[in-house]
Amino acid sequence: MRALRNGLLCLAAAATLTLAALDGASAQKLPGRGAAPNIGVGRPMAPTGLAPTGLRGGWGAAVPGLIMAIPQTGALRGGQIIDNAPQDRRRPPQRTTRRGPSGAPPANERRLVPDEVLIEVANSVSPQTIDVLQRRHRLARIEFRTFQLSGSTMLRWRIPDRRSVATVVRALEADGVVASAQPNYLFALQQSEGKAAAANLAGDTAAREGDPAQYELAKLRLPQAHGLAKGDNVLVAVIDSGVDVSHSELAGAIALTFDAFDKPMTPHKHGTAIAGLIAAHGKLMGAAPGARILAIRAFDPDGASAQGTTFSVLKGLDWAAANGARVINMSFAGPADPALHRSLETAHKQGIVLVAAAGNAGPKSPPLYPAADPNVIAVTATDADDNLFPQANRGRHIAVAAPGAQILVAIPDGGYELSSGTSYSAAEVSGIAALMLGRNPGLTPAQVRGILLATAKDLGPKGHDSMFGAGLADAYGAIMAQAAPVAAVSPRPVERVSTGTR
């Protein structure tokens, strides 16, 4: 018996020594301590005069040691990360809690940057862990940003080899450090080519507003509405291409600007037109001439058009929310985007009214986003005879309609043109929302939506339909409404927005 007991004790001692040796060998393979490497240049944004916040020991725009410059426009132009905090070598990387449907794109999805991927991590993940993540997945860093709306950090990285975006996304989703991964989707502005036009102020200007060509004013009953409210000082964010802030139609209307790109900003037709349809007050009359515009350049010109990405749009949304936007206009369209959906959902909960163009892809197109997101008011376009704009998208997610065919708009260098698209309809409804909030600042996004639908002029088939939604928006009727009826619309389920798979 004594011999057996001694043998068991010897075996236990040997096992202990073996485990200790293995533990030491494993520790030698972990990355060493020291200053964190430069993990890339980001362009985080906070309201002017406010310092960024973050978790101690975290990384991104809010860590101690981050060097930032704040230009007059309010945009942060870059940063360098220095993190000398000690790390516990034995603690495994933090596993985030957000796990759901895969963010990999559908097999036939082409509306994405073909060699980029977006990765979301918790703010508390260290630079050293991010460095290991990058090497493990063989990616190249482009930029990063800590987002207030999501409460996380987003990394934009390049795929330097020929692996597909879907392959890389799925590999990242299996990594315990990664909260989510997805493509950097592409979005397009929703307008048709315009024709040059001259504003004409002949006649009795005291008896009317704007230019005679602005038929949308009468259709939306905006002159009557302006007798009660003009949206004074309501902040409306325009996430779009570059706005010509020097245009006479926008004199005094631009509150702040933000640029999501490093390259110099070029004023663009689309962004200037959208800002003018909301807040013009010169030869033209916007839907909310007293509103203030947060001009956000998230779309970079590519010829006559302009493109934006998930990352640039997320920057714009985050900056708009941080700077007090009450309404956010999104006159662009693209695929379902999980990261965009999460930010829109948070903005909606924070009381921001979200308005988007239904899209110009025609009746056979599937729903486009962000208009089809359940947190967004989707707006389609009509013409001077209340007919549906032929290129407009259809769907049960359409909330209301507004004029969008042959609209007289402001363009850079003091010019004007006639142009068409659901982009312009969305801007008009964003302006009406600003009028409503100027009249009653306590309205919630759900109440704004409910009033718009309840007071709309029914068009097409009786009741809510997939072409006109609840019908033509009525600015005067919406302002006069005293209650917020329940919206009679069934938006698409959230899961259609939050997943990247089909």
The string of pLDDT tens digits covering residues 453-494 is 999 999 999 999 999 999 999 999 999 995 444 444 444 333
pLDDT beyond 70 at 61: no
Whole-number Å distance between alpha carbons of 252 and 246: 9
Among 44-48, 394-398, 414-418, where is mean pLDDT lowest?
Answer: 44-48
Q: Is 466 a catalytic residue?
A: no
* pLDDT score of 191: 76
Q: Residue range 350-372: average pLDDT?
A: 97
Quick one: residue 262, left, alpha or beta (phi over 0 = left, psi -120 to 50 = alpha)?
alpha
Q: Which residues contact 87 (CB under 8 A, 6 or more apart)?
A: 33, 126, 128
Q: Residue range 178-203: average pLDDT?
A: 76
Q: Is 331 a catalytic residue?
A: no
* The 254-259 sheet, strands edge to edge: 254-259, 292-297, 235-240, 327-330, 353-357, 377-382, 398-403
The tens digit of pLDDT for each residue in 227-265 reads 999 999 999 999 999 999 999 999 999 999 999 998 888
* pLDDT score of 101: 85
298, 198, 322, 180: which is closest to 241 by C-alpha? 298
Mean pLDDT of the chain: 80
Specify the 3-state DSSP secondary structure of 500: coil
What are the structure tokens assigned to 279, written together? 């807040």
Angle, vertex CA 130, rays to CA 124 and CA 132, nearest 5: 135
Q: Examine residue 160 and say whether the peptide bond preceding it is cis (omega within 30 degrees of 0).
A: no
Q: Residue range 192-221: average pLDDT?
A: 70
Catalytic: which of 226, 270, 341, 348? 270
Catalytic: which of 126, 137, 211, 240? 240
Catalytic: which of 180, 331, 420, 423? 423
Q: Is 413 a catalytic residue?
A: no
The percentage of the chain sitting over the pLDDT mark of 90, rounded to a whole number, equals: 69
Specify the 3-state DSSP secondary structure of 6: helix
| Residue 294: band (very low, low, confident or very high) from pLDDT cuts 50, 70, 90 | very high
Q: Residue range 266-282: average pLDDT?
A: 96
* pLDDT score of 344: 98
pLDDT beyond 70 at 57: no
Q: Residue range 90-94: average pLDDT?
A: 40
* pLDDT score of 45: 35
